[in-house]
Amino acid sequence: MDSNEIIRAYEEIKAEEVLRRLEQAKGRAEFMWLLCNTIPHVKYAFNLN
């Protein structure tokens, strides 16, 4: 594996973890918090700090 493959694998794992957590949090207040803190442009769109 070269460094690009390692980075790609890490990003895939991270994305899967984010999706898993969002799935678990559906229907709870935590869902909105996770969404806003996971995806920066959503955070800025809602102007949350």
1-49 tens-digit pLDDT: 788 898 888 888 888 888 888 777 776 777 777 777 777 665 566 665 4
Q: Give the integer Cα–Cα distance in Å for 18 and 35.
A: 9
What pLDDT shows up at residue 40?
Answer: 66
CB 24 within 8 A of CB 38: no
What total of structural domains would you count in the chain?
A: 1
CA distance 29 to 23: 13
Side-chain-side CA neighbours of 35 within 13 Å: the count stands at: 14
Q: Which of 6, 39, 7 is nearest to 21 (CA)?
A: 39
pLDDT of 22 = 78
Q: What is the per-residue pLDDT for 7?
A: 85
Range of the domain at 36: 3-45
